[in-house]
Structure 1
């Protein structure tokens, strides 16, 4: 059998390095099982972009602010992959405050040496991109925390007149196991008259898979925090592109 020619189908052209031209770094809470799978599915057709993950353990108290001390070695380990941008794939800043998220980004940029974002800042940027000012809030955690989210967003000019939370409190690992029917039941009450969009805050909730269907049904945008994180991360990495099938934001 003769050796394969460099011009054969599937061969890498001489002088071209194989692999993606853009690398995305993602810091994932250890109890989150949605981040990797959802991002890889969204990027399935994007051959020139890769995602690389590093894990850390969340503090026991939801009210604790995430900083470099909580993340430990995870950012430095991720820096070894030389990503073009890095994202903290968690939404705690939605209730602990936007200022802390910006401080976290500054810390990440110092350690990783690349532009940084967080799920919270990504959601805020997505709302601005879509021109949304009054949104229904879907949150898979306690109502008290959801009310703190409303306060934080109100201080930043976003009204949340509707809150939808589960009837029972769920641990983060349990949130990832919530099925499609329960996700629909959680999301639907947020679509009320007077809102110009809906936001799902909680990157372990698999609401991203339901965004396109709800947008088609109600005719208003839905911002999912996991989707928004990838959308903003692509922008921070200089890899903007439209990705169909996941709603208006990622398709923009």
Structure 2
């Protein structure tokens, strides 16, 4: 049985990625002979504001070096908006900087993925050209996220912002509300729905249920991150009950 170490770079107030990513990868045990362990390093952030996001992102290099000390097989920068708030296309620079920092300090090499890059690449992989988005952010930050995605060639036709600035409160949102919100956001001209454009807003408990309501792909930042983690490990990106993206 193959065993993999997954490193997570997370905001200090994030409680969801260390729940949803392990849940998805452990579900693979039903269909693949693999095991995963999870190892985190944290960046201080409590409120989802541009100032705190920039300060937090500056701390990401330290986290990459710490995880490299554990010789993880892959690292995931698990904060979508922190990347997208730093400028268009920044996920490419961030992933490169983190990998280079880890190599320079420890001599270890491991692929680096980001939730921001994973979501963009997943949408492109699905052939999505027009999407609807659900996000917990204040409206200006949701606009930043939509602008970032559109700069990557995917048009956002509608979005809903829950306007919850406290990141800990975002992690306590009831995922069941996403079922009703998915019916409110306008998907009539969309070819994919982003159920949670935030790795802290819980969505996995309802991801498959919402997928059953739509004939277009339903993805989340977390499911896209798992998809990219598996691809970077050279594994087939398949997870049971996690939407079309991970259905194989």
TM-score range, shorter chain: 0.7 to 0.9
Q: How does 1:195-214 map to 2 (within 5 A)?
A: 195-199=190-194, 200-214=196-210
Partner residue in 1 for 2:79? 90
RMSD across aligned positions (CA): 2.1
Cα offsets for 1:142-174 (capped at 9, x unmatched): 1111112222222221110101111x4341100
Task: Give 1:207 deviation, angstroms.
Answer: 1.4
Give 3-state SS (helix, strand or coil) of 1:242's partner.
coil
Provide the rounded CA distance (Å) in 1 between the counterparts of 2:42 and 2:23. 19
* Segment drifting more, 181-190 vs 120-129: 181-190
| Structure number with bigger Rg | 1
Q: Within 2, Cα distance between the matches of 1:176 and 1:80?
A: 29
For 1:138 and 1:77, locate their aligned partners in 2 and report how far apart those are by CA, in whole Å.
Answer: 33
Is contact 1:212–1:247 with CA below 8 Å preserved after alignment? yes
**In the alignment, which residue of structure 1 is the partner of 2:170?**
175
Unaligned stretches of 5+ residues in structure 2: 103-108
Which of 231, 238, 245 aligns to 1:242? It is 238
DSSP-derived class of the 2:183 partner: helix
- Equivalent-residue separation in structure 2 for 1:212 and 1:191 (angstroms): 19
Query: Per-residue deviation at 1:186?
Result: 3.2
1:141 aligns with 2:137: yes
Match in the other structure for 2:179: 184
Distance 2:55 2:90 in 1: 8
1:1-252 aligned at under 5 Å gives the runs 20-45=2-27, 46=29, 47-58=34-45, 62-63=49-50, 64-65=53-54, 69-71=58-60, 73-92=62-81, 93-112=83-102, 113-166=109-162, 168-199=163-194, 200-252=196-248
* TM-score, normalisation: structure 2: 0.85
1:162-198 residue CA offsets vs partner (Å, 9 max, x unmatched): 01111x4341100111113323333332252111111
Q: In 1, Cα distance between the equivalents of 2:8 and 2:132?
A: 27
- Conserved 8 A contact 1:29-1:56: yes
Distance apart, 1:230 and its partner CA: 1.4
Count how many residue pairs are aligned between Structure 1 and Structure 2. Answer: 233
How far apart are the structure 1 equivalents of 2:239 and 2:76?
19
C-alpha deviation, 1:61, in angstroms: 6.3
**Structure 1: tracts of 5 or more residues without a match:** 1-18
Judge conservation of contact 2:40–2:67 (CA < 8 Å) in 1.
Answer: yes
